[in-house]
Amino acid sequence: MRIISFILLLNITCIAFASDNKTSNQLINESSPYLLQHAYNPVNWYPWGAAAFTKARQQNKPLFISIGYSTCHWCHVMAHESFENNKIAKLLNDNFISIKVDREERPDIDRIYLTASEVLAGYGGWPTTIIATTELKPFFATTYLPPFAADGRKGLEDILNSATALWHEDRQKINTVADEVTEILRTQLQSKVTKGKVSASSLEKTYRQFVSSFDTEHGGFGHAPKFPRTSVFDFLLLYDKHNPSGKAKAMVINTLDTMLRAGIYDQVGGGFHRYAVDAQWKVPHFEKMLYDQGLIINTLLDASQATDSQRYHAAITQSLDFVLERMRSDNGGFYSAYDADSIRPDNPEEHGEGAYYVWNKAELDRLLSTAEKKVFYEHFNIQKKGNVDSDPQNEFLKLNILHAEYSLQRTANDLSLKLSEAKTLLASSMTKLKQQRSKRPLPHLDDKIITSWNALMLKALTKAASQLKRDDYQAAAEKAARFIHRQLYNPVSKQLYRSVRNGKQSGEAYLDDYAYLINALLSLYQSSNDRQWLIWANELMDQQISVFYDRSHHGFFDNSGNDKNILFRSKHLYDGSLPSANAVSVENLILLSRLIKRPDWITMASNSLHSFHSELNDLFGNHPQMFRSLLLLNE
Q: CATH homologous superfamily of domain 4-189?
A: Glutaredoxin (3.40.30.10)
What whole-number distance in Å separates Cα of residue 322 and Cα of residue 333?
Answer: 14
Across the chain, which distance is largest between two alpha carbons, in Å? 77
pLDDT at 267: 98
Non-local CB neighbours of 162 within 8 Å, separated by 6+ positions = none
pLDDT tens-digit profile of 225-276?
999 999 999 999 999 999 999 999 999 999 999 999 999 999 999 999 999 9
CA distances to 38, 95, 182, 186, 258 from 63, rounded to whole Å, are: 17, 9, 15, 20, 45
Which of 425-429, 468-472, 556-560, 567-571 is predicted with the least confidence, judged by mean pLDDT?
Answer: 567-571
- pLDDT score of 141 more than 60: yes
pLDDT tens-digit profile of 60-119?
999 999 999 999 989 999 999 999 999 999 999 999 999 999 999 999 999 999 999 999
624-633 vs 202-213: helix crossing angle, rounded to 10: 140
- pLDDT score of 16 more than 70: no
Closest CA to 629 of 202, 324, 179, 227: 202
* Residue 407 one-letter amino acid: S
9 pLDDT band, cuts 50/70/90, is very low
Beta-strand pair 46-47/97-102:
parallel
pLDDT at 21: 58
Instruction: Kindly tell me the burial class for residue 227, based on how many C-beta atoms sit within 10 Å of its own C-beta (0-12, 13-18, 19 or more).
Output: middle
What whole-number distance in Å separates Cα of residue 113 and Cα of residue 131?
Answer: 10
Determine the average pLDDT of the residues in 119-146.
Answer: 96
Instruction: Kindly tell me the burial class for residue 231, based on how many C-beta atoms sit within 10 Å of its own C-beta (0-12, 13-18, 19 or more).
Output: buried
Q: Identify the bridge partners of residue 505 per DSSP, sorted by sequence position.
A: 500
- pLDDT score of 18 more than 90: no
What whole-number distance in Å separates Cα of residue 272 and Cα of residue 35?
Answer: 26
CB 339 within 8 A of CB 71: yes
pLDDT at 5: 30
Three-class SS of 113-166? HHHHHHHHCCCCCCCEEEEECCCCCEEEEECCCCCCCECCECCHHHHHHHHHHH
pLDDT at 1: 32
DSSP state of 443: P
Secondary element (H or E) of residue 98: strand 97-102
CB 544 within 8 A of CB 511: yes
- pLDDT score of 3 more than 60: no
- Domain locations in the chain? 4-189, 202-446, 450-633
- pLDDT score of 131 more than 90: yes
What whole-number distance in Å separates Cα of residue 473 and Cα of residue 454?
Answer: 14
Instruction: Kindly tell me the burial class for residue 211, based on how many C-beta atoms sit within 10 Å of its own C-beta (0-12, 13-18, 19 or more).
Output: middle
Determine the average pLDDT of the residues in 385-397.
Answer: 63
Highest mean pLDDT among 122-126, 293-297, 560-564, 616-620: 293-297
- Cβ count within 10 A of residue 409: 11
Determine the average pLDDT of the residues in 543-549.
Answer: 98
CB 304 within 8 A of CB 297: no
17 pLDDT band, cuts 50/70/90, is very low
What whole-number distance in Å separates Cα of residue 66 and Cα of residue 86?
Answer: 17
Residue 439 backbone phi and psi in degrees, to 5 = -85, -15
CA distances to 119, 334, 507, 582 from 188, rounded to whole Å, are: 10, 33, 26, 15
- Cβ count within 10 A of residue 425: 22
Closest CA to 73 of 265, 274, 256, 340: 340
620 pLDDT band, cuts 50/70/90, is confident
Where does 191-278 show beta strands of DSSP type E?
Answer: 275-276
230-242 vs 624-633: helix crossing angle, rounded to 10: 30
CB 173 within 8 A of CB 180: no
pLDDT at 190: 82
Closest CA to 353 of 283, 292, 402: 283
pLDDT tens-digit profile of 356-386?
999 989 999 999 999 999 999 999 999 998 9
Non-local CB neighbours of 611 within 8 Å, separated by 6+ positions = 191, 550, 553, 554, 555
pLDDT-above-70 percentage for the chain: 93
pLDDT at 20: 55
CA distances to 117, 422, 478, 587 from 261, rounded to whole Å, are: 35, 15, 32, 32
CB 147 within 8 A of CB 155: yes
- For residues 397 and 329, the model is more confident at 329
Whether the pTM exceeds 0.85: the reply is yes
Backbone CA torsion sign across 212, 571, 335, 78: positive
pLDDT at 150: 86
Cis link prior to 348 (omega < 30° from 0)?
A: no
Beta-strand pair 275-276/337-338:
unpaired
Non-local CB neighbours of 107 within 8 Å, separated by 6+ positions = 510, 512, 558
pLDDT tens-digit profile of 319-355?
999 999 999 999 999 999 999 988 776 666 666 788 9
Instruction: Kindly tell me the burial class for residue 24, based on how many C-beta atoms sit within 10 Å of its own C-beta (0-12, 13-18, 19 or more).
Output: middle
Instruction: Tell me yes or no: is domain 450-633 CATH 1.50.10.20.
Output: yes
Q: Identify the bridge partners of residue 450 per DSSP, sorted by sequence position.
A: 499
3-state class (DSSP) for residue 108: helix
Secondary element (H or E) of residue 253: helix 247-261
CB 204 within 8 A of CB 248: no
- pLDDT score of 120 more than 60: yes
- For residues 468 and 398, the model is more confident at 468
DSSP state of 81: I
DSSP state of 395: G
What whole-number distance in Å separates Cα of residue 276 and Cα of residue 228?
Answer: 9
From the CA atom positions of the chain, what is the Rg in Å?
A: 25
Non-local CB neighbours of 212 within 8 Å, separated by 6+ positions = none
Closest CA to 297 of 95, 459, 469: 459
Q: How does the average pLDDT of the chain come out, rounded?
A: 92
Determine the average pLDDT of the residues in 443-450.
Answer: 96
- pLDDT score of 509 more than 70: yes
pLDDT at 341: 87
pLDDT tens-digit profile of 167-191?
999 999 999 999 999 999 999 888 6
What whole-number distance in Å separates Cα of residue 269 and Cα of residue 551?
Answer: 47
Q: Identify the bridge partners of residue 288 per DSSP, sorted by sequence position.
A: 338
